[in-house]
Structure 1
Amino acid sequence: MLNISQQSVSRKLKELEDDKLIVRIISKEGEIIRLTEEGEKVLNSCLTTLKDAILSVHSLQIRGNIVSGLGEGRIFISMDYYKTQINKLLGFEPYPGTLNIVIYDKRSLENRLLLDSSSSLLIPEYKYKDRVLGAVKLYPASINNLKPAAVVIPLRTVHPKSVLEVISPYYLREKLNIKDGDEVVVEVYI
């Protein structure tokens, strides 16, 4: 499972034993490996460090430039199903349309990719007449410190990962006095 050789495993176990982090008991049935008290302390310290690192990330910052979209966001956000779900999950009725942002720096793109593995609010897929309205992930956010807002990530989209869509109860271009090419900062709360 670890994709390493038996020799490498044996060498690592020997190192842990030499460092007094484990005790190995060899019998004719096989080998029993137990953590020592010091080994437990080291393991608990590692777990605490990991937990702190994971829980300390409360928000991610994504920078990008405003671009015009194709107008598809307006069509979907105007649908009663999505409007109702957004209002239920986020507590606001969205302005009919999304603000598209092209991510231009590596750190922001890494943060955008982190969203894919972060917990989100979810609008489930919905069968409506002869079509299926796709599921959408929602992340509460602010844009240039303006709240409320949210990042929307449709599970079926034509946008590459470098394009972020933001919704709000406001017409964001007017409210923030922004236009195509302007830089914005989106703070996504995870």
Structure 2
Amino acid sequence: MTDLKVQHILTLTQLIAQGARHNFVPITTSYLGKSINKSQQSASKHLRELEKDGFIERIMHGRKFSVKITSKGYSEMVKLSSILKSSLNSFPSFVELKGTLVSGMGEGAYYMSLKGYTKQFKSKINYIPFPGTLNVKLHEKEYIEAAQQFRTLNGVIIKGFCDSKRTYGWVKCFKCKLNNSIDCELIILERTHHDESIIELISKTNIRKTAKLRDSSKLTIRIPIMG
């Protein structure tokens, strides 16, 4: 890990942004404090500590001064950057949700069989789903909150449409794997009667039957995250 103190990272970042990597840059503690959202006194303390630890050099001009980051200071920032990049690139490439199977109200079969949806399913996810959805109850808060992010992530959009009876909302699809073996889609609906703890899956086949599932069966869903 880096030898830098957490409170000094923003200060060095701001100094680099001001051009202090290669040059002595005139700076005031009041300006620096505002830039890092700290008081003038805190900014002054940061500079003293950074100078003492050999991360910066200061040249005084009466009551004014100029600052330059030392090779040691820059090396520590490069090290920190490498650690951050490694951490950000090592995140799981999927979201995992766990829950149990519950029975729905039977509405999924009706909606999944509407031509306004089936034509789009065929062209966009390459199959017409079995008429019905598999309802999964998420019991843990972390899974419920993880599932909510799919409302803002990019998925395959099945557009809403109108017929002589009413208007139907959009459906967003995300490829996923059920119990590490069954290919299916997590669907996010523009309109739903379910609360946030219920997610719905669709597939080519009747998952409940082919996987021999019943209410309360434990399920694990993995949804790949693209980028």
Decide: shared fold, TM above 0.5. yes
Which residue of the other structure, out of 88, 104, 111, is the alignment partner of 1:51?
Answer: 88
Q: 1:4 to 1:178 in 2, by over 3 A?
A: same
SS of 1:161 mapped into structure 2 = coil
Provide the residue aligned with 1:10 in structure 2.
Answer: 43
The worse-fitting range, judged by mean Cα deviation, of 146-155 and 126-135 is: 126-135
Q: 1:43 to 1:101 in 2, by over 3 A?
A: same
The worse-fitting range, judged by mean Cα deviation, of 102-111 and 71-80 is: 102-111
Provide the residue aligned with 2:126 in structure 1.
Answer: 91
1:79 to 2:83 alignment: no
Correspondence 1:1-190 to 2 at 5 A? 4-7=37-40, 10=43, 14=47, 37-38=74-75, 40-42=77-79, 44-53=81-90, 56-129=91-164, 131-190=166-225
> How many positions carry a matched residue from both structures?
188
**Matched AA of 2:148:** L
List runs of 5+ in structure 1 lacking aligned partners. none
C-alpha RMSD of matched pairs (Å): 3.6
Report the TM-score, using the length of structure 2 for normalisation.
0.66
**Structure with larger Rg:** 2
Please say if residues 21 and 38 of structure 1, whose CA atoms lie closer than 8 Å, have aligned partners that are also in contact.
Answer: no
**Matched AA of 1:85:** Q
The worse-fitting range, judged by mean Cα deviation, of 109-118 and 140-149 is: 109-118
**Matched AA of 2:126:** G
Q: 1:4 to 1:37 in 2, by over 3 A?
A: closer
Q: CA deviation at 1:8?
A: 7.8
Higher RCO structure (Cα 8 Å, ≥6 apart): 1
Q: 1:126 to 1:22 in 2, by over 3 A?
A: farther
**Matched AA of 1:48:** K
C-alpha distance in 1 between matches for 2:74 and 2:156: 42
List runs of 5+ in structure 2 lacking aligned partners. 1-33
Report the TM-score, using the length of structure 1 for normalisation.
0.76
Q: CA deviation at 1:34?
A: 7.5
C-alpha distance in 2 between matches for 1:67 and 1:111: 19
C-alpha distance in 1 between matches for 2:41 and 2:127: 56
**Matched AA of 1:76:** Y
Richer in strand (by share): 1
